[in-house]
Amino acid sequence: MMILENEKRIFTLQTRNTTYQIKADENGVLLHTYYGPRLRGGDLSRLIRYADRGFSPNPNEVGNNRTYSLDTLPQEYSGSGAGDFRLPSLELELADGSHVADLRYVSYRQQRGKYDLEGLPAFFGGEAAADTLVITLEDAAAQVRVELFYGVFEELDLITRAARIVNQGDQPVRLYRAASLCLDFSGLPLEFITFDGGHVKERKLNRAPLRPGIQSVGSIRGISSHQHNPFVMLCEPGADEDHGTCYGAALLYSGNFEAAAERSQFEDVRLTMGIHPFHFAWTLEPGQAFTTPEAALICSPSGFGQMSRQFHRAIRTHLLRDVWRDRRKPVQVNSWEAFYFDYDQERLLRFAKESAQLGVEMFVLDDGWFGRRNSDSSSLGDWWANEEKLPDGLSGLSREINALGMEFGLWIEPEMVSEDSQLYQTHPDWVLNPAGRPYTRGRSQLVLDYTREEVREYIFQTLQKLLETARISYLKWDMNRALTQVWSAALPAGRQGEVYHRYVLGVYDLLERIRQANPHTLIEGCSGGGGRFDMGMLYYTPQIWCSDNTDAIDRLSIQYGTSFAYPPATMGAHVSAVPNEQTGRSVPLETRGAVALSGTFGYEMDLGALSDQEKAVVVQQIQDYRESYTLIQTGDYYRLSAPSPDGAPTAWLHVSQDRRTALLCLVSGQVHAGPPFRQVKLKGLDPALSYRLTGDDMPWPGDVLMQAGYPLPMLGEYECLRLWLKAE
C-alpha cells in the first residue's frame, strides 16, 4: 500500500509489518525519513535533526544556513562531488571532465502492479500483489535524470528498488557508479552480517558491529562468487532468529557487485548496493539510458527467521517462473561422482537401469559426453555427442533412458571454450582477451565473449539442435571459472569498461531465449557449485547447485547460511558416496539423505554398487522425498539451531502454511564422553493444537513443544532424526 501526500511531497510505503517513508524537502533533496516496524504514518521528517557541522558544506540555495548540509542528511539516492562525502549512489563524468552529481526532486508517478526491467531479472507481480512508485530526480546542470523505481509487495513485506539514469543533454555522460540501492539510518547502532567463504565452503555467516568508516563485501570475478554472496543484513545488537529488528538486502545480479555499509562521523549508517565500480565505465550517449539491477529489501521487526520466510515466499511466488515451480521435480541421479569422464553407453545404461529399479526418476549425464572430451582440457564449445562413447548419440541414449521410465538430463558449460576444440580453432577471437596478451586459464578453459550477439547466437543454435534432437528434460548449466583478461574485440577502447556488465546481460539474454524456446525443460544453475548462487540467476534457473561440496556435515553449514535468503526449493542437494571426495569423511547414508532431502534431492553416486541394505535405505529415502516434497518446497522453514563444532545437534523444521503438519530434521554432531541430555524447542506450530510425533503414543501440545521443547534421544556421531508432526 502507498500513501502519497503530494502537497507535502511525502511518500509512505506500507507493508503488512513495515513502513518505508521518503520526503522531498523544500530544497528538492529527496530524504529518507524512516524504514522499520510499521507505523501509522504522518510526516516522519521531524525525526531528522539539523546542526552546524564543521567541514560539512552547505548548498547554494540555503544561503548562510550552516545547519543544512548534504553531508549530514539521510538521502534516498546520494550524489557525489556536491558536499556529501559518504558513499555515493551515482558517480559520473560530464563532457567538461567534471564529476559532480547533485540530484533534486522533479515528480512522481504510480501504477498498479510491479514494474519490469528490460533485459534484467526482477520480482514480478500483478495488480493484486504489488504496486509501483517511480520518483524522478534531476541534475539540471548536468542534464541527467534519475528515475527511482519502487515495487511494494504488501503481504510479503518486500520492497524492491532499481534506478534508471538518462542522459538528457547533447554530450556523452560516463557513469562510474550507479547503485541500485541507497539506504540511510539515522543514529542507530547496527551490526553487519555477510555470507562469505570460498569454493566448497560457501555462505558462512559472519557478523560484526559496524565500525567507523566503510565495511564492504563484493566480487570482481565477473560472477557473484563463492567468496561473498550478494545478500547482506543489518540488524540491531542482540537480534536473533526470533527477536530484534533486522534488514535483509539482496541484489538480483550475477556479476560484479558491491554491498557497502558506512558508519559516518556522526554514527549514521548508509548501505549501498549495486554493480561494483571496479572496471565499470558506461558511456551514455545523448538520449540513452542505463538501468541498474534490482535490489530487494525486507525488514523484519521479529528477528532473522521472519525475514527469511518472507524472502522464501517472495522467491517461490514472485521470482521463480519455471513450470516446475508448481510440479514435483523428479528424483535424479547424476553420473559425475559415479564415473567422472570414464564411461561408455553400455556402462551408462547399466547405471541408469540399476537406478530406475530403486525409484530414481531422472538420469543426468554430466561432463564428458561431447566432442573428444576425456578430461577437462578439451572440447568445450563442441556441443555434439562423442560417438566413441555414445554410438547412438544423445537421441539414442535418451530413448533408452526413457524406455526405462526415466527422464533424461544433460550437463553443459556453454559460456566456456577449450583451446583444443573446433569452436576455438574456427573463432579464436570469440574469447575475452586483449589482443597480443597471453591467456590466463581457469580449469584449462577460456571465457567466450557473451557481449557479442554472434557468439550467443551460435551457442543458442547449437544447444537448440541438441534439445530438438534428443528428449532432454533437464539442463545443468555450469560455469567453472572467474573472468580474467576482460576485454572484447567487439568494443572500442573507450567502451571496455562496459564488458563485465554486458557479459552478464548476454548470459541473461541467452538463458531467456533457451527458456522461451524450451518452456518445459528444467534448468539448474551451477558455477563450480555455489559461485553464482544469487536471485538474478534464480529468475532464469529455478534451482542452483548449492555447492560442489557434497559432504553432509559441511552441507549443514552451507545450507544453513544459504537459507537466510534462499528457500530449500532452490538448493541443489544430493546424496554422494563415502568417503566423501572433498573431506574424506564417512557419514551414514541415512544422514546424507536427511540433509539432501531439505533441498532439491538426488544422488551423485553409483547406486548399483550399494549393498542390499543400502539400496533399501535409498528406496525409503525416495519415498520420503515424495511424501515430504510439498511441505519442504512450499512450507515455512525454521532454523532451530546453527551448526556447531561443540557436538550440539543441528536442527531445522518445515511447517505447513496451516500449521497442522511439520517435519523436524536433526543431525547430531561429534560425540563426546558424558554427553548432556538435550531437547529442541520447536517453532511455528499452533500452540492451541496437539501434535502426534512419529513413534510417540501420546500427542504433544503445541505450546509445550515450543516453550519446553522436545526431548531428544541419545544419538551417535552424525546420526539423523526425521520426525513428522501431525495435528490431531
Nearest CA-CA partner of 332 in 476, 142, 172 = 476
Catalytic residue positions? 478, 548
Is-contact 652 639, C-beta < 8 A? yes
Mean pLDDT (whole number) for 460-466: 97
Report the C-alpha gap between 549 and 204 in whole angstroms.
14
Please name the amino acid found at residue 484. T
Q: Which three cell numbers stand for residue 301?
A: 521487526
pLDDT at 334: 97
Instruction: Quote the distance between the C-alpha of residue 6 and its chain's center.
Output: 36
**590-620 pLDDT per residue, tens:** 999 999 999 999 999 999 999 999 999 999 9
CATH superfamily of 641-727: Golgi alpha-mannosidase II (2.60.40.1180)
Residue-wise pLDDT for 52-62, tens only, equals: 999 999 999 99
CA distances to 666, 675, 708, 719 from 715, rounded to whole Å, are: 10, 10, 20, 6
| Assigned C-alpha cell, 632 | 519442504
- Kindly give the pairing relationship between strand 543-545 and strand 571-572: parallel
Closest CA to 455 of 496, 491, 397, 414: 414
Computed over every residue of the chain, the mean pLDDT equals: 96
Secondary structure (3-state) at 378: coil
Query: What is the CATH code of the structural domain delimited by 335-635?
Result: 3.20.20.70
Judge contact between 505 and 449, C-beta under 8 A.
Answer: no
Cβ neighbors of 720 (< 8 A, separation 6 or more) are 588, 590, 591, 593, 594, 595, 665, 666, 667, 668
Question: What is the Cα–Cα distance from 685 to 690, expressed in whole angstroms?
Answer: 9
Residue 563 banded pLDDT, cuts 50, 70, 90: very high
Predicted pLDDT at 541: 97
pLDDT of amino acid 41: 81
pLDDT-derived band of residue 674, with 50, 70 and 90 as boundaries? confident
Between CA 532 and CA 499 the distance in angstroms is 18
Can you tell me the mean pLDDT for 615-642? 97
Q: Which fold has domain 2-318?
A: Beta-galactosidase; Chain A, domain 5 (2.70.98)
Mean predicted confidence (pLDDT) in 342-351: 96
Q: Is the model's pLDDT at 33 over the cut of 90?
A: yes
pLDDT score recorded for residue 297:
98
Q: Three-state SS string across 166-217, please? A: EECCCCCEEEEEEEEEEEEECCCCCEEEEEEEECCEEEEEEEEECCEEEEEE
Under the banding of pLDDT at 50, 70 and 90, the label for residue 83 is very high
Residue with cell string 533441498: 599
Angle between helices 393-403 and 345-357 (to 10 degrees): 20
Q: How far is CA 50 from the centre of its chain?
A: 39
Q: What is the pLDDT of residue 322?
A: 81
Domains 2-318 and 335-635 share a fold: no
* CA–CA distance, 625 with 605 (Å, rounded to integer): 18
Please report, for residues 282, 487, 490, the alpha-carbon distance to residue 495 in angstroms, rounded to integers and kept in the order given: 7, 10, 10
What CA–CA distance (Å, rounded) separates 246 from 336? 41
Asked if the model's pLDDT at residue 413 lies above 80, the reply is yes
Asked if 568 and 541 count as a contact pair (C-beta separation under 8 A), the reply is no
Query: At 337, phi and psi to the nearest 5?
Result: -75, -10
Confidence check: pLDDT of 647 > 80: no
Measured between alpha carbons, how far is 283 from 176 in angstroms, rounded to an integer?
Answer: 9
Question: Is the pLDDT assigned to residue 645 strictly greater than 80?
Answer: no
Continuous segment of H or E residues that includes residue 516: helix 499-517
| Overall pTM surpassing 0.95 (yes/no) | yes
| Per-residue burial over 541-568, b = 16 or more CB atoms within 10 Å of its CB, e = otherwise | bbbbbbbbbbbbbbbbbbbbbbbbbbbb
The domain limits of the chain are 2-318, 335-635, 641-727
Average pLDDT value for residue range 283-310: 98
pLDDT of residue 293: 98
In 446-498, which residue ranges form alpha helices assigned H by DSSP? 453-469
Residues with Cβ within 8 Å of residue 309, at least 6 apart in sequence: 636, 637
pLDDT of residue 108: 97
Q: What does the pLDDT read at residue 675?
A: 87
Q: Tell me how many degrees the CA angle 676-682-684 measures, rounded to the nearest 5.
A: 170
Work out the pLDDT band at 581, boundaries 50, 70, 90: very high
CA distance 158 to 14: 10
Percentage of the chain lying above the pLDDT 90 cut:
95
**Complete DSSP assignment for 103-130:** -EEEEEEEEES----TTS------TTT-
What is the per-residue pLDDT for 188? 85
> Is residue 646 predicted with pLDDT exceeding 80?
no
Which tens digit of pLDDT belongs to each residue from 475-530? 999 999 999 999 999 999 999 999 999 999 999 999 999 999 999 999 999 999 99
Task: State the Cα angle at 415 between 392 and 505, rounded to 5°.
Answer: 135
What are the backbone angles phi and psi of residue 499, rounded to the nearest 5°?
A: -65, -45
Cis peptide before 579 (omega within 30 of 0): yes
Grid cell at residue 386: 562423442
Confidence label for 287 from pLDDT (cuts 50, 70 and 90): very high
Q: Please write the tens of the pLDDT for every residue from 200-247.
A: 999 999 999 999 999 999 999 999 999 999 999 999 999 999 999 999
CB atoms within 10 A of CB 173: 25
What percent of the chain has a predicted confidence (pLDDT) above 70? 100
pLDDT for residue 327: 87
Q: List the single range of 245-259, 340-354, 644-658 with lowest mean pLDDT.
A: 644-658
The pLDDT tens digits for 678-705 are: 999 999 999 999 999 998 989 999 999 9
Confidence of residue 260 (pLDDT cuts 50, 70, 90): very high
